[in-house]
Amino acid sequence: MSDNCAISASTRITQAPGQVSTELDNEIVIMSVEEGAYFSMNPVASDIWSRIAEPMAFSALLAALAEEYDAVPDMIEADVRALLASLLKDNLIALEN
Amino acid sequence: MPGAPMDRPANQPTWPKTIAPFIQAIEHRPDFPRRLAELVGKMSSRIDAQEAAQLAAHARGLSPHDPVVWALTDEAIRAQVPLWHWVILNDKARNATYAAGIAAAIHPGMTVLEIGGGSGILSMLAARAGADHVYCVECQPLLAEAARRNIVANGFSDRITVIEAKSTDVAVGAQLPRRCDALVQELISNTVVGETLLPVLADARARLLVDDPVMVPDRVWAMGQLIGDREPWHIGDSLGLDLSALDLFADPISARNKPAEMPLGPPVELFSLDMTARSLPTAWTVRLDASQAGTCTGVQQWIGIGFPGGGVYENAPGTAPSSWAFRHHWLLEPRAVDPETPVTVDVTVHGPLLAITPQPKTA
């Protein structure tokens, strides 16, 4: 939870080094090179993963997703925070405050 | 696990495009064979099955003595190279009958076509019998490669060419220099026709063989008899619970290594196919007699194979264990039979499928 709380509007989020991803069946699958673990992302998570190929501010990410998806902003933010917390736990993303 | 045949640098396959980034990220690691095996194990359902098998074989070739690699890659390999390959190659009676039939029919001067070459054994027997040249057609890439290696190891590489393709994709003027004088094949399933035997034969006769080719085998047939064994899916009385809703998904034709426990009548020929005939029938009507009263639940069926020179292979009840299984074609509605009340069935071939359909009872 602390990781989740560490994300503020200006936090820049990007894919962490040490992982490789590829697209399979319209989903992105990520492999952590050292651990050999695989993570399969659903289409929306795959979209978010693609958007953070380059560092992106959390607020800009939320704004871009609000443009793309028909959902209320609070719900988008809650879902994105949950996803990022999960990715952070598995060392798949890096945060810059 | 086998050692020597895999103890050589494996040819590196082309990495499948979709997972190439994963492989490129790990291919320089010292634990690459095991990581590749893990990758195949996890991704085999998401990539092309033949590509998965190629990667699996590559991992085994890189690390032939790591049981973890073998275990992780088994599913991908098995999907392309089923275990029945070992079962049939260990069927000594099958191999011996084929060897005698090939020796009787194949002579110097002949060009021989084999369809479904597998290990390459029948092609090598044809070469050993004196064939000028044998074209061994095998569509499964792993098996084609194994056949090539077997053929080299046995010193036949100058007289046997492995063609990695479906026979329907082979053509005279392309892979074949001319029509072949003889066809050797073991495309005979438990129902005789299950490995698309009839369409493959018809195509080969039309395009790949001379007008009156030597056929090895030259006859195949199916035998049948009425049985009263309990259908395996009727389990409605288990612990007093009605489980019959599953019946709808039952297997109408079971494969059994052991013959039926309750034969009700004598064996009868269901159909016979003359491999040398220009066209082959696909429908027969057969009377199956009962030698005792009982409730007939199905027809037990087995196969027979005849060879030039007179050799015969049949996995009839009471004979030695066979690599072919008995097939039990269950009647959808069991019926009472006795010596005065036979069952007449329509036997029909639908591509690779064999159907045995009882005609309605006569009044």
Q: A23-27: long-range contacts at Cβ-Cβ below 8 A with a sequence spacing of 24 or more?
A: A23/B18, A24/B18, A24/B19, A24/B43, A24/B46, A24/B47, A25/B46
Say whether B26 and A38 touch across the interface (CB within 8 A).
no
Q: How confident is the model at residue A1 (pLDDT cuts 50, 70, 90)?
A: very low
pLDDT in the model for residue B236: 67
pLDDT tens track for B143-202: 999 999 999 999 999 999 999 999 999 999 999 999 999 999 999 999 999 999 999 999
In 3D space, the residue among B149, B113, B119 whose CA is nearest the CA of residue B131 turns out to be B113
Is B186 annotated as catalytic?
yes
Check CB contact under 8 Å for A22 and B25: no
**pLDDT tens profile B239-287:** 888 888 888 888 888 888 999 999 999 999 999 999 999 899 999 999 9
In which residue are the tokens 């159907």 written? B355
Instruction: Give me the pLDDT at residue B143, please.
Output: 96
Q: What is the structure's pLDDT at B238?
A: 75
Is there a contact between B25 and A33 if contact means CB atoms under 8 Å apart? yes
> How far is B19 from chain A, CA to nearest CA, in Å?
7
What are the distances in angstroms from CA B282 to CA B177, B193, B227?
Answer: 32, 10, 24
According to DSSP, residue B47 is labeled S
Give the closest residue to B216 by CA, choosing from B326, B107, B354: B107
Query: Does B244 contact chain A (CB < 8 Å)?
Result: no
How far does the CA of residue A92 sit from the closest CA of chain B (Å)?
A: 15
User: In the annotation, is B164 catalytic?
Assistant: no
Distance CA B357, CA B335 (A): 13
Residue for token pair 């894919």: A15
Backbone angle region of B223, left / alpha / beta, with phi > 0 → left and psi within -120 to 50 → alpha? beta
Neighbour order of strands in the sheet with B133-137: B160-163, B133-137, B111-115, B180-185, B209-216
**Which DSSP symbol is given to B361?**
P
B248: exposed, middle or buried (C-beta count within 10 Å: 0-12, 13-18, 19+)?
A: exposed
Judge: A31–B22 Cβ closer than 8 Å, yes or no.
yes
Q: Which residues pair with A15 in a beta bridge?
A: A93
Q: pTM to 2 decimals?
A: 0.86
Q: Which residues contact B20 (CB under 8 A, 6 or more apart)?
A: A22
Euclidean distance between CA atoms B238 and B247, whole angstroms: 14
